[in-house]
Structure 1
Amino acid sequence: MSSLHPPLRALVLALTLCSLLALSACGTEPNGQGTTSVYADAQGPAVIGTDSSAESRVMAALYGELLTAAGVEVRTATTVYASPVDTARAVVEGEIGLAPAYESTLLRALPGGQTMPGDMAATLSMALPPGIVALPPAAAERGVVLAVTRATARRHGLSGLTDLGGTGGRLTLGGSASGDPDAPTAGTLKKAYGVTLTPADTSATADVLVLRGTDPVIARDHLVVLSDPDEVVPPEHVFPLAAAPYAGLAARKALARVNSELTTGQLAALTSSVAAGETPARAARNWLRSEGLLG
């Protein structure tokens, strides 16, 4: 290398260094001028993004509290994004360092993202661009569920979607999440489980309700969520989507603490509290302390 012209030698050294750092999260991010700049692990606070929903804001607050307690500097993005898809794109494009994401929603936003049955971690790993990491998910998920009232469950002996076959096609299907991309239709359920349901005229008249798993109405009305043994509805666990420099060992260990503790019901309760006016930071801090996850 000593025979190279000095400017060329400097360029080779720089490229070699970046190649070595790639194993420890060397990458690029926008510098505000339409170009990119090299970044490494020590590049300032982790900027956490969120969409406008109470659920996204409380998840971001949980991540922020855990990271701060682990000594990781964080700040909240000034931009509030329109949807989980937009926050995911913001992470991929380098606008923010970290955001709550959801499995199937994210895959739909990625070019050619396809689910590998039974191996969502591998699916996400292959679908995400280099330098973007899907950290392990929490137990909580906001996926679509089908639920009935306790009275309907008792009347027809319902605990799972397979039991709907014994209702003789007398029940109707509808609900607040019936228009979601992941929501099963009457035809989908017929094909998967051999059951017959009639689309309801309105959500208010539906016997079988199509809802998001974190919808507070499930707990409020003591609804029975029907099991889906054939996994007709794809998973939607919540997980941290991060740029590699913000997914170091300290961050991974801190964020992993919430995984086994946060259930769908608990996330629904946290979401309800924030929707009712409690600040995301306070709701997150109180829950983490109640679970012994924060001093």
Structure 2
Amino acid sequence: MTPGISPRPRLRLAAAAICSLLLLSGCAAAAQNKPNTSYADGEGPTVIGTDTSAESRVMAAMYAELLTRAGQKVEPAKTRYSSPSATAKAVVAGKLGLAPAYESTLLRTFPGGDTLPGNMPATLSMALPMGITALPPAAAQRGVVLAVSATTARRHDLHTLADLRKPGSRLTLGGSATSAPDAPTPASLKKAYGVTLTTAGTSATADVLALRSTDPSITKDKLVVLTDPEGVIPPEHIFPLIQAPYAGRAAREALARVNSALTTDQLAALASSVDAGKSPAEAARTWLKSKGLLS
């Protein structure tokens, strides 16, 4: 026994030391779990980010208009992200409060969650970490489609991907979205539809074009988009990816106003106008007013 210190005071000192260590450990853990920016606490404005595409920029502008009219404070991000995947990661990391996102891209970005066929909202919810919300999507998509010229469609009576069996193996596959991760391959088309396509040497010589659904050439060249009854091509509806602190009732109701009104053709037209030099804010405001969504 140490002289001058009775057993009871010594136990009290040991207990105090243990409590101090536990307190310090708790503080360290809290520091590690603290969001890496002030945007993640829901107290400041909703910081809205985009990728570099015209679709993302005009949708972000639309979200900003709707939230502002609903009395929410918003702020544009100081930088654009390189891809929809990078933007989604920025929301999850707390660098953004809100950004446009796409269904299948998000699932590739955050793999490992359970999949419920036919229930995309639940599948997205299981893929995302706690505190991040996938709000309901618009009707508009930016997914891959397969399209043919009006002449080719008439010649072979093409309406769906299954109809590509009619010309046999004479048709070739190409297009700007051929290498996209969600683009169908000749093998997947063969399996689902019994279709035999060969890869074209260049997109210019291809009979069947893999394009993004918002590609302006679809309208400009009057291409016929073939439907996909077997769902070989995954959906890419656009939706708001948002941090939970910013997803209150007013924000949800405001953002949901575009869902049924915005079609793929309209999103393509909006993107084309932005590519032609119109500001995303002007394009978004004009469209919202034309649909009666802004007072």
TM-score range, shorter chain: 0.7 to 0.9
Q: In the aligned structure 2, how far is the partner of 1:248 from the partner of 1:29? A: 20
* Structure holding more helix per residue: 2
Query: Corresponding residue for 1:191?
Result: 191
Q: In the aligned structure 2, how far is the partner of 1:81 from the partner of 1:171? A: 37
SS, match of residue 250 in structure 2: helix
Does residue 254 of structure 2 align to residue 254 of structure 1? yes
Aligned amino acid, residue 74 of structure 2? V
Aligned amino acid, residue 188 of structure 1? S
Q: In the aligned structure 1, how far is the partner of 2:138 from the partner of 2:268? A: 13
Q: Does the CA contact (< 8 Å) of 1:58 and 1:284 recur in 2?
A: yes
**Aligned pair partner of 2:35 in 20, 26, 29:** 29
User: CA 1:45/1:175 → structure 2, altered by over 3 Å: closer, same or farther?
Assistant: same
User: CA 1:121/1:67 → structure 2, altered by over 3 Å: closer, same or farther?
Assistant: same
Aligned amino acid, residue 195 of structure 2? V
Post-superposition offset of 1:180: 0.2
Query: Corresponding residue for 1:21?
Result: none
Post-superposition offset of 1:123: 0.3
Q: In the aligned structure 1, how far is the partner of 2:37 from the partner of 2:262? A: 36
Query: Corresponding residue for 1:232?
Result: 232
Query: Corresponding residue for 1:180?
Result: 180
Structure 2 portions without partners, runs of 5+? 1-15, 27-32
Does residue 73 of structure 2 align to residue 67 of structure 1? no
Post-superposition offset of 1:237: 0.3
Query: Corresponding residue for 1:22?
Result: none
Q: Does the CA contact (< 8 Å) of 1:146 and 1:209 recur in 2?
A: yes
Q: In the aligned structure 2, how far is the partner of 1:211 from the partner of 1:157? A: 20
C-alpha distance after superposition, 1:104-159 (max 9, x if no partner): 00111114145432111010011100000000000000110000011100000000
| 1:74-113 aligned within 5 A | 74-113=74-113
| 1:41-52 aligned within 5 A | 41=42, 43-52=43-52
Post-superposition offset of 1:28: 5.2
Q: Does the CA contact (< 8 Å) of 2:173 and 2:210 recur in 1?
A: yes
SS, match of residue 147 in structure 1: strand
C-alpha distance after superposition, 1:189-243 (max 9, x if no partner): 0111001111111001110000011111111111110000000000000000000
User: CA 1:254/1:195 → structure 2, altered by over 3 Å: closer, same or farther?
Assistant: same
Query: Corresponding residue for 1:290?
Result: 290
Q: In the aligned structure 2, how far is the partner of 1:267 from the partner of 1:244? A: 26
Report sequence identity in percent.
Answer: 68
Q: Which structure would you say has the larger Rg?
A: 2
Q: Does the CA contact (< 8 Å) of 1:107 and 1:115 recur in 2?
A: no
* Structure holding more strand per residue: 1
TM-score for the superposition, normalised by structure 1:
0.87
SS, match of residue 78 in structure 1: coil
Structure 1 portions without partners, runs of 5+? 16-26
SS, match of residue 240 in structure 2: strand
4+ residue stretches of structure 1 with deviation over 2 A? 113-116
Q: Does the CA contact (< 8 Å) of 2:67 and 2:254 recur in 1?
A: yes
Query: Corresponding residue for 1:58?
Result: 58
Q: In the aligned structure 2, how far is the partner of 1:260 from the partner of 1:62? A: 14
Q: In the aligned structure 2, how far is the partner of 1:76 from the partner of 1:259? A: 22
Q: Does the CA contact (< 8 Å) of 2:37 and 2:95 recur in 1?
A: no
Post-superposition offset of 1:38: 8.1
Q: Does the CA contact (< 8 Å) of 2:40 and 2:94 recur in 1?
A: no
C-alpha distance after superposition, 1:217-275 (max 9, x if no partner): 11111111000000000000000000001111000000000000000000000000000
| 1:114-263 aligned within 5 A | 115-263=115-263
Aligned amino acid, residue 155 of structure 1? R
Q: In the aligned structure 1, how far is the partner of 2:246 from the partner of 2:122? A: 20
Aligned residues: 268
Query: Corresponding residue for 1:23?
Result: none
Aligned amino acid, residue 213 of structure 2? G
Q: In the aligned structure 2, how far is the partner of 1:133 from the partner of 1:31? A: 18
Q: Pairwise CA RMSD of aligned residues? A: 2.0
Query: Corresponding residue for 2:12?
Result: none
Q: Does the CA contact (< 8 Å) of 1:28 and 1:38 recur in 2?
A: no
Post-superposition offset of 1:174: 0.6
